[in-house]
Structures are given as structure tokens and as C-alpha cells.
Amino acid sequence: EEAERLRVEEEELARKQQEEAEMEAERKRLEEEELARKQREEEAERLRLEEEELARKQQEEAEMEAERKRLEEEELARKQQEEEEAERLRVEEEELARKQQEEAEMEAERKRLEEEELARKQQEEEETERLRLEEEELARKQQEEAEMEAERKRLEEEELAR
């Protein structure tokens, strides 16, 4: 009986140890599965975060590129505006210079015509004065001749009367 009892106890002990070993093996299996699941989740989370970071960086780069393009376009527009303004000013200055040149030429022509007119009047006045002097001289000579003729006649009459 003692031997039987010991045999039964050993069998029971062996069965319990077998069960414990199986439970331990199952616990380990479950732990490993849990660990593997956690690792998969962590890897998935790491990949999700990396993708988010990549997307964020790409978004930032796209925004920076858009800003760079906007600034380039603004700079180009500003330069074009400056060039157009410079061209407008150049054309205005040319037009002003042309008008001033025309006015200067017209003024010079007006002065030339005034001087010509003045010279013509002076010449007319000189000619009039010359003619007046000639007429005075002629009248004086005629007067002298008339007086001489009158003196000659008087002398002739005196001679005739004598």
C-alpha cells in the first residue's frame, strides 16, 4: 500500500509538474506573443511617426519652395516695374529735352527775325535821313543858284541902266 501510495503521489507529482511545465510553456508563449505584438505595434507607431515627420518635412519644403517662388515673382515684378518706370522717365526726359530744344530754336528764330527787322528799320531810317539831307542840299543849292541868278539879273539891269 505504501508503495502504491508513493507511486500514485509520484504520478500526481509528475502530472502536476507536467501541467506546470505546460502552463509555464503556455505562459512563455503568450508572453512572447505579447512581446511580439508590442514590438509590431511599436514598429508600426515608429513607422507612422517617421511617415508623419517625412510628410511634415515635405510640407515645410513645399511651403518654403512656394514662398521662395512667391518672393522671386515679387522681385521680378518689382524689377519690371522699376524698368518700366525708368523707361517712362527716360521717355519723359527725352520729350522735355525735345520741347526745350524746339523752344530754344523758336526763341533763336524770333530773335533773329527781330534783329533783321531792327536792322531793316535802321537801314530805312538811315536811307530816309540820307534822302532828307540830299533834298536839303539840293534845296540849298537851288536857293543859292536862284540867289545868284537874281544877283546876276540885278547886276545886268544895273549895267543896262548905266
pTM more than 0.85 = no
- CA gap 66, 69 in Å, rounded: 5
Calpha distance 129→133 (Å, rounded): 6
- 7, 98, 158, 160 from 148: Cα distances, Å: 206, 74, 15, 18
Please provide the distance, in angstroms rounded to a whole number, between the alpha carbons at the two ends of the chain.
235
| The predicted structure's pLDDT at residue 76 | 98
Q: What is the pLDDT of residue 120?
A: 98
* CA gap 138, 115 in Å, rounded: 34
Q: Along the chain (162 residues), what's the average pLDDT of each consecutive run of 10 residues?
A: 95 97 97 98 98 98 98 98 98 98 98 98 98 98 98 96 86
CA atoms within 13 A on the CB side of 21: 6
* pLDDT (0 to 100) of residue 162: 80
The SS3 of residue 162 is coil
How many angstroms separate the CA atoms of 89 and 140, rounded?
A: 75
Phi-psi label, residue 141: left if phi above 0, alpha if psi -120 to 50, beta otherwise: alpha
| 3-state secondary structure (DSSP) of residue 1 | coil
CA–CA distances in Å: residue 156 to residues 143, 147, 151: 20, 14, 9
Within the chain, strands assigned E span none
